[in-house]
Amino acid sequence: MRRLTFENARGESIVFYLSPLVIESLTGIGEIDADLQSEKAPYQDGDTYIDTLLQPRFIDLEGVITRTDLETIKFYRKHILRVCNPKLGLGKITLELDGDVKEIYGTLDGSPVFPERGREVWQKFMITWKCPNPYWRNPNQTSQPLKAYVGNFTLPFTLPFELGMSGSRTTLYNEGDIPAPIRIDIQGPVTNPQIINRTTGEWLKINRSIAADEVLHINTTPGKKRVEVYRGNEVYPALGYMDHDSDWITLELGKNEIEHIADAGDRESLVAVTWNSMYVGI
């Protein structure tokens, strides 16, 4: 099965799968261009490898509208143009392929193209998305508590995990192809909480007291990095409290030993780490 769903920034979605919007060709979902970084010294044979940087991903879809009457063809052309509007910016692409589901964010690289039908019975179309972040991600986020807690953990959203007995140090497993950014939620009371990835040596510390009715939220995702404090329905920016030597920590491939410490309150606070594994292709 090969089904692609695109949801634009307005929440409108379109599905390319079976009739009436059939996928004929889909490229760019696995292959991706890379830029090899290297340096060369005088009189050196060859060069010295430094790093490999992946380029933005371009996904090309060619399909057909499997209807023959003009009014229905016009309806679906208008629907494609409305949802796949390049002026709307980034939208979410969800691809279901052979039982695997991954998602990525992309924007239209120009308007959809509808070639002249000529003698063709069906209307063909072509759509190209540019994905600035080339990595696919697992749409199912993984959440794990780091500490036992008795009481109610109240947030402006619901985390998909069940609290259980754990320690202030635990092992998290990133099954993806690259290091994964994380979201951290800490409910007070706690003073100057710090999260340490013992596997990589990275650490992140917030120099602030978090009250019992507050939740500290940290997001290390590139482009979405933030530190906030939730109190009831109110949100307060807290990036200025982040220790200037801190790292925007991630989960390395495989096992990561994560620890939570604090100047005070680490026995009473609740810490949860959430992430989505990320992949080079699908």
List pLDDT tens digits, range 44-71. Answer: 888 999 988 889 999 999 999 998 888 9
Q: How far apart are the first and last CA of the chain?
A: 13
Assess whether the previous peptide bond of 160 is cis (omega < 30° from 0): no
User: Which residues constitute the domain of residue 211?
Assistant: 142-279
Which pLDDT does position 267 carry in this prediction? 66
124, 170: one domain: no
- What average pLDDT score do residues 129-133 get? 94
Which pLDDT does position 262 carry in this prediction? 83
161, 69: one domain: no
Which pLDDT does position 101 carry in this prediction? 93
Which pLDDT does position 266 carry in this prediction? 60
127, 155: one domain: no
Which pLDDT does position 3 carry in this prediction? 92
Residue 185 has pLDDT above 70, yes or no: yes
- Give the chain's mean pLDDT: 86
Which pLDDT does position 161 carry in this prediction? 39
Least confident piece of the model among 4-18, 203-217, 229-243, 261-275: 261-275
118, 242: one domain: no
235, 213: one domain: yes
Q: Which H or E run includes 271? A: strand 270-275
Q: What is the CATH number of the domain that holds 172?
A: 2.60.120.880
- What average pLDDT score do residues 167-188 get? 87
- What average pLDDT score do residues 247-272 get? 85
pLDDT band at 119 (very low <50, low <70, confident <90, very high): confident
- What average pLDDT score do residues 68-93 get? 93
Q: How many domains does the chain have?
A: 2
Which pLDDT does position 124 carry in this prediction? 93
Residue 168 has pLDDT above 90, yes or no: no
Cα separation, 275 vs 262, in Å, equals 22
Domain boundary among 134, 164, 187: 134
7, 118: one domain: yes
123, 159: one domain: no
- Whether the CB-CB separation of 39 and 21 falls below 8 Å is answered with no
pLDDT band at 159 (very low <50, low <70, confident <90, very high): very low
93, 222: one domain: no
58, 92: one domain: yes
Cα separation, 158 vs 152, in Å, equals 12
pLDDT band at 141 (very low <50, low <70, confident <90, very high): confident
Query: How far, CA to CA in Å, does 73 sit from each of 30, 68, 249?
Result: 31, 7, 50
Which pLDDT does position 118 carry in this prediction? 74
Residue 40 has pLDDT above 60, yes or no: yes
Which pLDDT does position 150 carry in this prediction? 38
Domain boundary among 134, 164, 184: 134
**How many CA atoms within 13 Å lie on the side-chain side of 66?**
10
pLDDT band at 265 (very low <50, low <70, confident <90, very high): low
Question: With pLDDT > 70 as the criterion, what percentage of the chain qualifies?
Answer: 91
Domain boundary among 91, 118, 134: 134
Q: What is the CATH number of the domain that holds 104?
A: 2.40.30.200
- Please name the residues in contact with 279: beta carbons below 8 A apart, sequence gap of 6 or more: 102, 135, 136, 137, 138, 176, 177, 178
Which pLDDT does position 166 carry in this prediction? 34
- Placement of tokens 């004929």 in the chain: 24
119, 162: one domain: no
225, 159: one domain: yes
170, 42: one domain: no
